[in-house]
Structure 1
Amino acid sequence: MTAATDDRELVLTRTLDAPRHLVWRCWTEPELLAKWYCPKPWYIDQVVWDLKPGGRSACVMHGPDGEAMPQDGVFLEVIHQQKIVSTDAFTVGWVPSTDPFMTAVVTFEDAPGGKTLYVARARHWSPEKKQQHEQMGFHEGWGAAADQLEALAKTL
């Protein structure tokens, strides 16, 4: 199912013109992740990507006007070339965060023609947080990042 499951979820679904194993590499190798993760001209650095349940998921997003937005959380589930689940509700050591925003569920499936069915879900703690994320440009931003992900995967 690729539609939102409730009033707290945003979903981006794309069929990427790249094989799943290359899309997976772009998601799991920090040096590749840094090349596509934010819609340009935004970028990330200080990437810590410990891909295991309880492992740290962290980076700093930088904007064109000097903005710096630290992102810190943990991975909840990692299934090789199939699924990555992370959240900002906890930090390393299962320490609860003070203002959780969402849990991300990203799935990867083989699609015909050597392509990848890519589904990215943002599950929010409240309808208000979902609305805030939508107003921040979820569809445009995550869509642009997915375009960058596809372009990078095609070069590998």
Structure 2
Amino acid sequence: MDETAAALGDAARWRIVELLAERPRSVGELAELTGLRQPQTTKHLQTLARAGLVTVFPLGQRRVYAIESGPLTGLERRLRQLVQTIEANADERDVVERYRAAIEAESAVADHDRWADGRTFTFDRVLDAPREVVWRHWVDADLLGSWLAPPSMTITECALEPTPGGRAILDYRDPEGRRYRSAGKVSAATEAEHLVFDLSVLDATGAVSFTGHYDLTLDSVQGGTRLRLGLTITETSVEAVPHIAGIGTGWGQVLDNLADTLGTTRK
């Protein structure tokens, strides 16, 4: 398959294939129709032959080439599968486009520190799991690390210690190795019901980009647990634009991760 794609990656060879799709042709005829010299045409035909795309028929003093559809059919099947995969994951592209638009919109208003202070977000999910199981996925570091990172990010440290004054930490890196760190503390915790904590997103120097104040509640409902997460941001710096722009999408993604981990119905 790779050899087929490589052979078709040259414009002259692609034109030869188009001409042979109409009918078998000699080297001289192909050279005349493509505007190439005969030695160049022969070289291209040899490449196509090695890829199984053409077959040569010696006819006396002439050599006539014919197309072989098999490799093209295989390539068509692979391309169709690729298009289906792209279509099935179109929402992933939409996420990137929305994030870019959000950054542009936030950049237009982030002209001073504390520009986004007081902004609030609310997230709601119905999870097909008991409250105690959902709670453990928030306060057990290993379980928390299994769902909290957005796609392509890798968690290197995380903690939500469910006691007043307990540590709140989220440390992860992207595929390029850049590190992102948030630190804070838990201010209130009622087992399997309520968790209140702060997380300050830190820049490379350790300065606060912004602080998120989180309020998590878990309520038992028929068949599972309703999760509500409230977020209010303060201490926003101008440099926090990419972080603020990504809050809605980012938390939506990680809560979807949690939903998938627990095998839930998203709402």
Match of 1:79 in 2: 190
Query: Where do 1:106-125 residues align within 5 Å?
Result: 106-113=216-223, 115-125=224-234
Question: Deviations 1:20-55 (Å, cap 9, x if unpaired)?
Answer: 211111111101111101122212122344321111
Runs of 4 or more, structure 1, over 6 Å off, are 126-129
**Pairs aligned (count):** 140
Query: Where do 1:22-101 residues align within 5 Å?
Result: 22-88=133-199, 99=208, 100-101=210-211
Q: Distance in 2 between matches of 1:86 and 1:71?
A: 12
- The structure where strand makes up a greater share of residues is 1
> What's the offset of the Cα at 1:127?
8.5
1:101–1:19 Cα change, 3 Å: same
Match of 2:52 in 1: none
Give the one of 133, 140, 146 matched to 2:255: 146
For the 8 Å contact 1:44–1:59, the answer to whether it is kept is yes
Give the one of 101, 104, 113 matched to 2:214: 104
> Which one-letter code corresponds to 2:257 in the other structure?
Q
SS at the partner of 1:37? coil
Match of 2:245 in 1: 135
The more displaced of 97-106 and 60-69 is 97-106
Structure 2 residues without counterparts, runs of 5 or longer = 1-117, 201-205
Comparing both chains, which one has the higher relative contact order based on Cα–Cα distances under 8 Å and sequence gaps of 6 or more?
Answer: 1
For the 8 Å contact 1:8–1:127, the answer to whether it is kept is no
Question: Deviations 1:75-133 (Å, cap 9, x if unpaired)?
Answer: 001110111111136xxxxxxx96342111111111212x211111111127989x945
Q: TM-score, normalised by structure 2?
A: 0.47
1:128–1:66 Cα change, 3 Å: closer
1:154–1:19 Cα change, 3 Å: farther
The root-mean-square deviation of aligned C-alpha atoms, in Å, is 2.6
SS at the partner of 1:71? strand
Q: Distance in 2 between matches of 1:128 and 1:14?
A: 30
Name the % identity: 24
Match of 2:17 in 1: none
> Which one-letter code corresponds to 1:14 in the other structure?
R
1:84–1:29 Cα change, 3 Å: same
> Which one-letter code corresponds to 2:162 in the other structure?
L
SS at the partner of 1:65? coil
Q: TM-score, normalised by structure 1?
A: 0.76
Q: Distance in 1 between matches of 2:192 and 2:145?
A: 19
SS at the partner of 1:54? coil
Q: Which has the larger radius of gyration?
A: 2
Q: Distance in 2 between matches of 1:50 and 1:15?
A: 24
